[in-house]
Amino acid sequence: MTDSPHTVVTRSNRGQWENHVEGRPDLSRSFASREEAIDAGRSTADGLGARHVVEDAAPTGTIIDPQTKERP
């Protein structure tokens, strides 16, 4: 790995997953799934010679059925 000044951070943000590229906001993107974001984040980090970090999402504590807005 090179001494890239960038780090690619994959994290949850309000129900979506995003890749934030420190120092390169033009490369930051959002994704619907964690897996998709991690794959893209890894690819971006590889291309930049940067480090890739995945931040675990804090559990929300409540599971709601989106069709009824009620707990299952």
pLDDT value at position 57? Answer: 75
Show me where the domains of the chain are located.
7-54
> Token pair 């707990």 is at which residue?
71
pLDDT at 16 over 80: yes
pLDDT value at position 1? Answer: 44
Confidence of residue 26 (pLDDT cuts 50, 70, 90): very high
Confidence of residue 48 (pLDDT cuts 50, 70, 90): very high
Half-sphere exposure of 41 (CA within 13 A, CB side): 26
Between CA 33 and CA 41 the distance in angstroms is 12
pTM: 0.72
